[in-house]
Every structure is written in structure tokens, then in C-alpha cells.
Amino acid sequence: MMPGPPSNAINDQYRTAKPKSIRDVPAYVKNIVGETSGRMFYILKLVWEANKSILFVMSFMTLFNGVTPVIGSLIGKEILNELAHAYSGGLTDFKIIATLLILNFAYLLLTGVVARIYATVNRISGEIVANHIKVKLMTKAKDVDLASYDSPDYYSKLENANREAARRPIEVLSAAFSIISTVISIVSYIIVIAAVGAVPALLIIAVAIPSTVINFYFRKKNFNFMFMRSKSRRQLNYYSDVMVNKDLVKEIRMLGLADTFIGKYKTVFADYFKGLRRLMVQECGWTIAATLLSTVVNCVLFVKIARGVYNGEYEVGNYALYTGALTSIANGISTLITTTASIYEGTLFINNMIAFMKEEKKIVPSVDPPRQIVRGKHTLEFRDVSFRYPGTKKDVLKNISFTIEPSDSIVLVGLNGAGKTTLIKLLMRLYDPTDGMILLDGHDIREYDVQQLYGIFGIVFQDYGKYAVTVKENIAFGEVMKDLNQTDVESAAVHSNADAFIEALPEKYETPLMRYFEDEGIELSGGQWQKIAIARAFYSDSDILILDEPTASLDPLAEQEIFNQFEALRSDKSSIFVSHRLSSATTASKIVVLKDGCVSEIGNHREMMEKRGDYYTLFSTQAKRYTEPVDAPAAPPEGFPAPPANAGAPDTRAMPSIF
């Protein structure tokens, strides 16, 4: 399901309350400066963590870039003055001019080389910092509660953090250091132009104020637009990704869905771009007005300096120095404005990462220190457990109570949506119950160390993972904490009936799966992938085995064979099996029937068939589909209707022969 737009609560954390009157402006500015400073400190911390030398290189370049422009201007002034003297018949030794030219070219060479080196260092630094941040994001994602993935707000944080956080820090930090360089240059040029007076410099600074206001205003507008349209960007990414997804391309082609998704993409983009274009046009108009004002003031000042040269007040070289100084001051002020605005915008986007990194983890031990788990046999008890997913009002599970004894073989039965998978998620503490509690060996599972708790379960989900690594690695992922053992891998493959097709692969257990990275990667069928996933469960050294419909792509005989393998190999461990094929339930020690989120029946196969309740209806209906002629299909068990009259009373001592 596509996440919805971010809530106002999330968006409000990025907003500084606007001033209601002129008296509120100082406090407003103070808040902005304080927030921006806090974000800048966070960025400095990130870069320091990534590589300390980056900050030292940037500090050196700050001083170098601040001083060298003024040095270049002074050299240029001297060259022009010496040439002017020579042209007017003055006594000037050409060696002086040659020396100044050599000095000028040495200056140009030095600044050019240093600029190129710094650009390279900056690119390398960007990769280092981006990698550091990506690792931090992945590490955080590893610990985020599963419930967070049900929240649109979480997806907004994650999308914005992934998109912006990796590139923004080095950009913002470079911009911050360039501001210091620019300030050094501006102060130096103001000292140089003091011969003309302070008024020109003050005028240049004054006309920059409108540009400052415009830049800051539109940077904030741009941020708010980008944040509020996070859903639109996710939709654009989703629609474009669907069109190139190798697992969906067949269905899209056969169903003719390509034009549908292209149309959806165009519709979302048109709406998204309309707002973005409006912002860009508005900013352009105001910026042009500010540029006209700045140009007029510069023109007046240049005429004044030119008249001073004409009247003999300054030398020709000084004209170049003073006008260059004014131009540099104007450019410096402009740089300060745009750079400061970009820093402000950049630090706003860094808030996305800060918000993501602050995502609260709630699946933690309820006691300190947490209770330790003793490996071996366990008793599990659901005690009046109810659960609803975050942000919803309907209970998926209602007042669930039953016990799983050591060595029990449990089969969960029920129609789609009955709550079977949700119950397993609660059992493994991927979620916490809304009401009630789950006990492990007599204690609330919330008291145990979470990683230890996860370690006692060997699980195969119905939406099992397909990993683009070798066959051996795919199986060994069943227990990554132990050293990879080839013998155990092969044994697990044998028990899941995967060994036959694995031995036929080009490189057997070393064969890369999926063609994401390797040209020789092999694409397995759905049934083969399921056997690989089941092999993971056999590979793990767990106390409780859980199979959540792991055999949907297998035929009934293959499923029964795998179920029998689990029964033989589980060494008296507790096991929980979820399957729509009720053949698996006939030998279970306990069958739990879920209906509309409640436990409707509990017992073994014989007891349930004799009771002729919900389980009897499901089992009889399914058996009838295998035993009736093709031209007499059975009605589906909607709402657990009464079994067909001609279904008869199946032999409760054994399952039908087809199973």
C-alpha cells in the first residue's frame, strides 16, 4: 500500500512560528539561528565521524580562498600601473613588469592547481560522508520496529532521509566554510577600497538586503513544498520502478498495464511540476528586480571612480583595483546571501535524517536488565491477547487464549484474513499485543532480551526472501551467527527436497541466484525458491520451528513430505505450521482454528472431526474437492457454511488418501 502524505504533526517539527508583529522578529530570527546552528553542529559531527581530516582540509582552504583573491587583485593593479607609466613615457624597467607577470602567472597556477586538488578532495569527501551516512541509516533501519513500516510518517522520514541526507552534509559544510572565505575577502576588499571612502562599500551591502530576504523566503518555501509533496515523489518513483521491475514485467506486458502506469506517472508529475514551476517563476521575478537595483548602484559607483581617474585622483591600475574590489564585494555579498540561504535550506533537509535517527524503538525489554532465555524446550501461552495494527481501529485478533506445550506440533487453520500470520508476528514479538500478554516459560515475552528471543525461532514466512547471492549463502542465512558449514547446508537442502535441483545447477551450491549482478545468475521457479527458504529453517539451530504457509507453490505430496521431514527432525522441539492444505493438520498434536480473529476451536484432528464444527467443515470441503468428479465442484466455505449433504462423514482415523 502506498503511504499517505505526512501528517501535520511531523511537518510542524520543521517550522519556526512566523512573527505576528515587528516585535516578534528578533525572537523569530533568534530561533532560526539557533535551530540552524544545532543542525550545523549535527553535520560537523557526521563529517568528523566519517573522516576527521576532511575538516582540516576545509579549514586550510577557507583561509586560502579568502586571501588569494585580494592578492591577485593587488598584483593586477601593479601590472597595470607599471604599464601605464611605460606608456606615458615614465621610466619603468621592463624587468619589473616581467617579474610581476611571472608572479601573476605563478599565482594563477597555484590557485588553479589548489582549486583542482580541492575539488577532487571534495568529491572524495562527499563519497566518504555519503557512505558513512548510508551505513548509519541502514544500521538505524535494522533496529526500527516493524510497526514503523505501517506508518506513512515513517515512510516520509525514510524517503527524505535517503534522498537528501547522503549528499547534503558535505554540501552544507563546504558552503559554510566558503562563507568564512567570502567574509575574509570582503573585509580585505573593504580595507583596499578605503581610499575611495566607506560609502561605496556600505551602498553595495545595503542593496544586497532585498536579495537576502528573497533568497531566504524562497528557500523556506522550496523546503516546505518538497516536504509536503513527499507522497508525490514516492508515487513517481513507484510508477517508474514498476515499469522496469523484472518480476512484474511479464504481467504488465500481458495485461497491457504499461500505458496505465505511464498515465499515472504523467498525471502525478503534472500536478507536482505545476507547484514547483510556480515557485521557480516567482523567485525568478523577485530576483530580477533585486538584480536591477544592484546593477544601477554599481553603475553609479563605477562612474564615480572613473571620474576620479580622469581628474588624476587615482592611477589607471587603481581603477581596476577599486572597481574590481566593488565587484568582488558585490559578488561576495551575493555569495553570502545565496550560500547562507542554501545552508539554511540544507540544514532543514538534514532534519529529515535527524527525525529518522530519532525514530523511537518500542520493542525493547520491559525490565532492566532483561531476562535471559535458557535454550531448550519452551512453553508458550497466549493469555487474552488482542491486537490492532497502528493507526487502525479494528482488532485483527480478539481475546486469543491457548497454550503451546513443549514438543507440541501446532497447526493454525483459518480462512484468509483470519489472523494466522499476525498471531505468529506477535509470538515472535515483531509487534506487541494491544491487550493481554504472551508468556514464554511463564514470563511475559516483553521481559526477555529481544535478540535472544528472536534466536529461539526458526521461521519460514509466506513472503520469504529471495537473495541475490549463492545457493549456499541463501541457505546459510537461516542462522548467520554460526560459521558457515557446507555439510549442514547440504543436509538442510536434502531435508527440504532441494538437493536434486541444486545438484543440477551449473556450480551446484556455489551457483549465484538471480541476475541482478551476475550474467550467469540462475532464476529459480517459485517452488524451487520455497524449498531454498525451507532449507534455511532446517539449517537453523532453533528451539521453535515456525512455517507460515511456506509450501504454497508445492504440490500436496511435496508439502506433506516436507511436513513429515519436520516432524521427524524437530527433535521434540515445538513447531507451528500454517497451511491452507489441511492434510498437514491430521498428524498435529493440536489444531487451532481462527475465525474472524478469534479462536473458534482447539483440539487434534480426531477430536475436531468428531465435533463437526468449523474444522470439520473446512476439512470436508477441501477433501471433497480432491475426491469429487470434476463436473461437480464443491461450494467454497464462505463463513464456514455447513458441509455439503453428500460429503458424508470422513474417516476420522486417517486423512483422505489424496493427502
In a domain, 601, yes or no: no
Among candidate residues 561, 569, 590, 556, the one with its CA nearest the CA of residue 412: 590
How many whole angstroms separate alpha carbon 635 and alpha carbon 645?
Answer: 12
How many whole angstroms separate alpha carbon 276 and alpha carbon 214?
Answer: 17
In a domain, 64, yes or no: yes
Sign of CA dihedral 233, 238, 244, 246: positive
| Mean pLDDT on 191-199 | 68
How many whole angstroms separate alpha carbon 623 and alpha carbon 619?
Answer: 6
In this prediction, residue 3 carries a pLDDT of 37
DSSP string, 271-318: HHHHHHHHHHHHHHHHHHHHHHHHHHHHHHHHHHHHHHHHTTSS-HHH
Where residue 515 sits, what CATH number does that domain have?
3.40.50.300
638: left (phi over 0), alpha (psi -120 to 50) or beta: beta
Give residue 55's identity as a one-letter amino acid code. L
Among candidate residues 445, 443, 462, the one with its CA nearest the CA of residue 454: 445
In this prediction, residue 14 carries a pLDDT of 42
Specify whether the CB–CB gap between 584 and 562 falls below 8 A: no
Q: Are residues 343 and 487 located together in one domain of the fold? A: no
In a domain, 130, yes or no: yes
Q: Which of 258-262, 276-280, 416-420, 551-555 has the lowest mean pLDDT?
A: 551-555
List phi, psi (to 5°) of 247. -80, -20
Q: How confident is the model at residue 289 (pLDDT cuts 50, 70, 90)?
A: confident
- When divided into structural domains, the chain yields a total of 2
Domain end among 513, 541, 569: 541
Where residue 213 sits, what CATH number does that domain have?
1.20.1560.10
In a domain, 418, yes or no: no
Q: How many CA atoms lie within 13 A of 582 on its CB side?
A: 27
In a domain, 80, yes or no: yes
- Three-class SS of residue 547? strand
In this prediction, residue 129 carries a pLDDT of 83
Parallel, antiparallel, or unpaired: how do β-strands 544-548 and 457-460 relate? parallel
Q: How confident is the model at residue 654 (pLDDT cuts 50, 70, 90)?
A: very low
Higher-pLDDT residue of 350, 654: 350
How many whole angstroms separate alpha carbon 7 and alpha carbon 519?
Answer: 44
Q: How confident is the model at residue 1 (pLDDT cuts 50, 70, 90)?
A: very low
> Is the model's pLDDT at 287 over the cut of 60?
yes
Q: How confident is the model at residue 82 (pLDDT cuts 50, 70, 90)?
A: confident
Question: Which of 204-213, 297-306, 481-490 has the largest mean confidence?
Answer: 481-490
In this prediction, residue 656 carries a pLDDT of 36
List phi, psi (to 5°) of 149. -75, -5
Domain end among 319, 341, 357: 357
Give residue 333's identity as a one-letter amino acid code. I
| Terminal Cα-to-Cα distance of the chain (whole angstroms) | 37
Specify whether the CB–CB gap between 227 and 153 falls below 8 A: no
Could you read off the pLDDT of 420-467 as tens digits, one per residue? 888 988 998 988 999 999 999 999 999 999 888 888 888 877 777 788
Helix axes 94-143, 168-192, angle to 10 degrees: 150
Residue range(s) defining the domain that contains residue 508:
461-541
How many CB atoms sit inside 10 A of residue 90's CB? 10
- Three-class SS of residue 58? helix
Q: What does each C-alpha distance from 119 to 58, 66, 112, 264, 326 come to in angstroms?
A: 11, 16, 11, 41, 27
Could you read off the pLDDT of 396-415 as tens digits, one per residue? 999 999 999 888 888 888 88
List phi, psi (to 5°) of 399. 50, 50
Q: Which of 77-81, 429-433, 485-489 has the lowest mean pLDDT?
A: 77-81
Burial of 409 (0-12, 13-18, 19+ CB in 10 A): buried
Could you read off the pLDDT of 40-76 as tens digits, one per residue? 778 888 888 888 888 888 888 888 888 888 888 777 7
Could you read off the pLDDT of 107-122 as tens digits, one per residue? 888 888 888 888 888 8
In this prediction, residue 633 carries a pLDDT of 47
Q: Are residues 217 and 340 located together in one domain of the fold? A: yes
Q: How confident is the model at residue 210 (pLDDT cuts 50, 70, 90)?
A: confident
> Is the model's pLDDT at 636 over the cut of 60?
no
Domain end among 314, 331, 357: 357
Written as nine digits, the cell of 137 is 541509516
In a domain, 410, yes or no: no
In this prediction, residue 398 carries a pLDDT of 92
| Mean pLDDT on 492-513 | 88
| Mean pLDDT on 129-149 | 78
In a domain, 638, yes or no: no
